[in-house]
C-alpha cells in the first residue's frame, strides 16, 4: 500500500504541480522499468480487475480471496502478484486458488512496481488495487461500479476502510495533504458511516483499496516505482490524475476492513523512515519552485510546534536523501524527453 495514516501527522495542501512526465504508448517509470499498459475498450462497466500484490503473504491471502470469490457476482478477473516472496506464496495460490491469475516476480519491486506488473496483464475496464491484508465487505464492488457509472469524470475511487473488531472505527475516508507533504486520513478514528454522503472528495485515496479507471492509466501512465518500496505512490498518482482533470473520491458504500501495516509495522522506525523519505520525494516531484519557501516554513513550524521526537532522525535522513531524489527525477525526465519529441 502506499501511504498509511499517522496519528501524529497533520494535513492539508493546495498545490500547483510541475508538469507530469507522461506520454502515449510508453509509460514513465522513474528509477525502475515497468511494462507498458495494454489498451482496452471494454464494456460493460462490470469488468473489474482486482490486483493484489503480496510479499510473503501466504497466510494473509486466503481472507481477501475468500471474500472476493464468495460474492454473487465475482470480479471479472483476480490477479495476484507474488512480489519476491520466500514463504511459498506462489505454490499456495496455484494449489488453493487455481482461478487466480498468478504473476511471479523474482524480487521485491515495491508496491508500485508490483502493481504495475499486475496492471500490465489486467483486462478490466476498472482496475482495483487491493492489499493482501483486507476483507472486502459484501456489496463493495457494486458500490464502486455505481459510482464510476454515475460520474464519468471519476477517475480514481477509494473505499471506506474500517479497522477490524466490533467497534467499526474508520481508518480512511480519503486523504488530505499538508503543505509540507504530511498526510492524514479523513474521518480517522470515528464511527463508520453509511452511504451518505455517497462520495467524499479528498486530495488522494489510499492504495490499500483503490479503483482506477483504465482511461486514466492510458492518459497518465503507471504508478511511479521511484517511490520504493512503499508510501506516497498513490498520493502522487491522484495528483497526476487531478492535473489532467480527473476526480478522485472515496465511495462510502464501498467498505473494506483493513489490517493495516502487516509488513512494515505501524509507526515503527522502519515505517517512519520509508514514509518521510518518500514524502520528500513527493515534494520534490510535485512542488513548484515558488512553493518551496512556504513548504520549508511549514516543515519548520511542524517540527517546532509538535516536537515529534520519533520523527526527527527519520526526517533528517529523508532530507539527506533529497539530492538522490533530484538526480533520479531529473534522469527520468531526461529519458522521457526524446520519446516525447517523437510523438506526432
DSSP 36: P
- Tell me the DSSP string of 293-318: HHHHHHHHHHHHHH--HHHHHHHHHH
- Whole-model pTM: value is 0.84
- Is residue 83 within 8 A of residue 53, CB to CB? The reply is yes
- Is residue 78 within 8 A of residue 141, CB to CB? The reply is no
Cα dihedral 77/5/166/141 (nearest 10): -20
Length of the chain: 344
What are the pLDDT tens digits along the chain (344 aa)? 444 334 333 333 323 323 333 322 333 333 334 455 555 543 444 689 999 999 999 999 999 999 999 987 789 899 999 999 999 999 999 999 999 999 999 999 999 999 999 999 999 999 999 999 999 999 999 999 999 999 999 999 999 999 998 778 999 999 999 999 999 999 999 999 998 899 999 999 999 999 999 999 999 999 999 999 999 999 999 999 999 999 999 999 999 999 975 445 567 888 999 999 999 999 999 999 999 999 999 999 999 998 888 999 999 999 999 999 999 998 887 765 544 433 33
- pLDDT tens figures, 82-115: 999 999 999 999 999 999 999 999 999 999 999 9
Q: Which domains does the chain have, with CATH numbers?
A: 1-344 (3.90.550.10)
3-state DSSP assignment of residue 340:
helix
Q: What is the pLDDT of residue 265?
A: 53
Q: Which whole-number Å values give the CA distances from 169 to 1, 11, 78, 255, 304, in the listed order?
A: 20, 20, 28, 12, 31
Q: Which residue has the cell 509509460?
A: 27
What residues contact 186, with CB distance under 8 A and at least 6 apart?
A: 172, 173, 174, 175, 176, 200, 202, 250
Q: What is the pLDDT of residue 336?
A: 59
Amino acid at each position: 500500500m502506499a501511504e498509511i495514516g499517522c496519528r501524529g501527522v497533520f494535513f492539508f495542501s493546495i498545490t500547483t504541480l510541475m508538469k507530469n512526465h507522461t506520454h502515449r504508448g510508453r509509460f514513465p517509470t522513474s528509477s525502475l522499468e515497468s511494462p507498458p499498459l495494454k489498451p482496452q475498450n471494454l464494456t460493460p462497466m462490470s469488468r473489474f480487475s482486482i490486483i493484489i500484490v503480496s510479499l510473503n503473504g501466504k497466510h494473509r491471502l486466503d481472507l481477501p480471496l475468500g471474500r472476493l470469490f464468495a460474492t454473487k457476482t465475482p470480479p471479472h478477473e483476480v490477479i495476484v502478484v507474488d512480489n519476491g516472496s520466500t514463504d511459498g506464496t506462489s505454490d499456495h495460490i496455484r494449489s488453493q486458488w487455481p482461478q487466480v491469475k498468478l504473476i511471479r516476480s523474482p524480487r521485491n519491486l515495491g508496491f508500485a512496481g508490483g502493481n504495475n506488473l499486475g496492471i500490465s496483464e489486467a483486462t478490466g475496464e476498472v482496475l482495483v488495487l487491493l492489499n493482501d491484508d483486507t476483507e472486502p465487505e459484501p456489496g463493495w464492488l457494486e458500490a464502486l461500479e455505481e459510482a464510476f457509472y454515475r460520474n464519468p469524470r471519476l477517475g480514481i475511487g477509494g473505499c471506506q476502510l474500517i479497522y477490524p473488531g466490533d467497534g467499526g472505527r474508520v481508518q480512511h475516508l480519503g486523504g488530505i495533504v499538508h503543505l509540507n507533504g504530511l498526510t492524514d486520513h479523513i474521518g480517522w478514528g470515528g464511527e463508520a458511516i453509511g452511504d451518505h454522503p455517497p462520495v467524499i472528495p479528498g486530495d488522494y485515496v489510499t492504495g490499500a483499496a483503490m479503483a482506477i479507471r483504465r482511461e486514466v492509466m492510458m492518459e497518465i501512465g503507471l504508478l511511479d516505482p521511484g517511490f520504493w518500496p512503499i508510501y506516497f505512490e498513490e498520493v502522487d498518482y491522484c495528483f497526476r490524475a487531478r492535473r489532467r482533470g480527473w476526480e478522485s473520491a472515496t465511495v462510502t458504500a464501498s467498505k473494506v476492513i483493513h489490517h493495516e501495516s502487516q509488513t512494515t509495522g505501524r509507526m515503527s522506525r522502519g515505517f517512519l523512515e520509508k514514509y518521510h523519505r518518500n514524502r520528500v520525494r513527493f515534494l520534490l516531484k510535485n512542488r513548484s519552485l515558488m512553493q518551496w519557501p512556504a513548504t520549508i516554513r511549514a516543515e519548520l513550524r511542524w517540527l517546532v510546534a509538535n516536537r515529534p521526537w520519533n520523527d526527527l532522525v527519520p526526517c533528517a535522513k529523508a532530507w539527506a536523501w533529497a539530492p538522490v531524489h533530484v538526480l533520479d527525477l531529473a534522469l527520468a525526465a531526461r529519458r522521457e524527453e526524446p520519446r516525447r519529441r517523437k510523438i506526432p
